Amino acid sequence: MSKVLGILGGGQLGLMMIMESRKLGVKFLVHDEDPEAPALGVADGKFVGDSWRELIDKSDVVTFEFEHVNLNAVNLAESFGKLRPGSLTIWLKQDKIREKSFLRDHGFPVPRFMIVNSPEEVDKAVNQLGRVVFKEPQGAYDGKGQYYVMGEGDLGKVPRRFPLLAEEFVDIYKEVSVVLVRSSDGDVLTYPVTENYHYNGILLYSIAPAEVDEEVAGRVKEIAVRLADTLNHVGVLTVEFFVTRSGEVLINEFAPRVHNSGHWTLIGAAVSQFENHVRAVLDLPLGSTELQRPSGIVNMLGVPYNEEVIRRVLAVPGTSVWWYGKAKVRPRRKMGHVNIVANNVDELRKRTNEVLSIVYGNDIGRYVSPWNLT
């Protein structure tokens, strides 16, 4: 009998998990409150509204594609012993203060931070940390809910809603991430380190392998594996890092799931992050995470479907397109992405720039506007 995997959340990550792993003979059930969620369109069973109990009932294993999922569903799946990975990571990810405190308390390198509970403590944080990024602990993602204080004049931007996480502003040299997969026996395979480029706080494009020193690449991988072990994680885990100009590496955040910065593995790695996540949570042997060729992705953010654009993108050698089929376009919304492979990193960067200019022209700010202007 085919195994039945239930996915909480029906976004593009669930869509790609299903399309990449259906070949294994697995059946997929999807729950999302929104009946138009992309993964519902390719699921073997669709569960909308509050029908998640039924999904849990009918699944052998339940996983999630996004950490902001219904907590009642997570707790019920866990009480039946079906949830993979466990709920600890979801609990940590619901609050940036919780996540950062956990990392620091377990000895992981993170930017210096303070928890701020009053207007006086806002001033204190600026006095102690210098340049500060204030972050709302809950409901923030893709750069939302962040306030940069680079000088006295910026203090007025900080909302008087507490608590806030006050983090030192890091002089970032590069942003990189490690995507890894861990089995329930504790075996871990890491993908090559990925280099990530953001625009207005959201991932715009990624390149793998990252152009960083071997020693830095080794260090971030070692830290990511240690975190996966500490969390006793099962499935894919992604750890995002800042590499500073002085060569320090700091964890920015982690995602207990497949991740946008791992989309290059769809055509760039022997086995993709999506298939490896499914293999791990179903106790199947893990697949090779080796890089086949230098690979990258360009996110299509806030752009409407346009066949002419897709034609021009596909005419660039080494590209393929994933369009997620979302019902509505909004500025910054992840509508699709382009996979790119090349024979070397220089060629990859050239192709990536070509794709960026086809997708956005000279007008990226129109599609990827800052949060406060959307």
Q: Find, among 367, 334, 339, 370, the residue nearest to 37 by Cα.
A: 334
Q: Is 252 in the site for ligand ADP (CB under 6 A)?
A: yes
- Min separation Cβ 169 and ligand ADP, Å: 5
Query: What character string, x for contact with ligand ADP (CB under 6 A) and - otherwise, covers 152-191?
Result: ---------------x-xx-x--x----------------
Q: Is 267 in the site for ligand ADP (CB under 6 A)?
A: no
- Min separation Cβ 140 and ligand ADP, Å: 5
- Min separation Cβ 212 and ligand ADP, Å: 16
Q: Is 44 in the site for ligand ADP (CB under 6 A)?
A: no
Give per-residue burial for 166-202: e unless 16+ CB within 10 Å, then b.
Answer: bbbebeeebbbbbbbbbbeeeebbbbbbbbbbebbbb
Considering beta carbons, is residue 54 or 253 the nearer one to ligand ADP?
Answer: 253
| Contact between 93 and 260 (Cβ < 8 Å) | no
Per DSSP (E only), the strands in 223-374 are 235-244, 249-255, 295-301, 319-323, 334-341
Residues 6+ apart with CB under 8 A from 185: none
Which residues sit opposite 63 in a β-bridge? 7
| Contact between 29 and 54 (Cβ < 8 Å) | no
Considering beta carbons, is residue 80 or 141 the nearer one to ligand ADP?
Answer: 141
What residue number has its CB nearest to ligand ADP? 170
Q: Is 141 in the site for ligand ADP (CB under 6 A)?
A: yes
Q: 53 burial class (0-12, 13-18, 19+ CB within 10 angstroms)?
A: middle
Quick count: other Cβ atoms within 10 Å of Cβ 209? Answer: 19
| Chosen residue from 124, 198, 226, 350 binding ligand ADP by CB under 6 A | 198
Considering beta carbons, is residue 172 or 321 the nearer one to ligand ADP?
Answer: 172
CA 269 to chain centroid? 18
Query: What character string, x for contact with ligand ADP (CB under 6 A) and - otherwise, covers 210-249?
Result: ----------------------------------------
Which 88-117 residues touch ligand ADP, going by CB under 6 A?
Answer: 111
Considering beta carbons, is residue 143 or 163 the nearer one to ligand ADP?
Answer: 143
For residue 154, the 8-state DSSP code is G
Question: Which residues of this chain interact with ligand ADP, rule CB under 6 A?
Answer: 111, 133, 140-144, 167, 169-170, 172, 175, 198, 201, 252-253
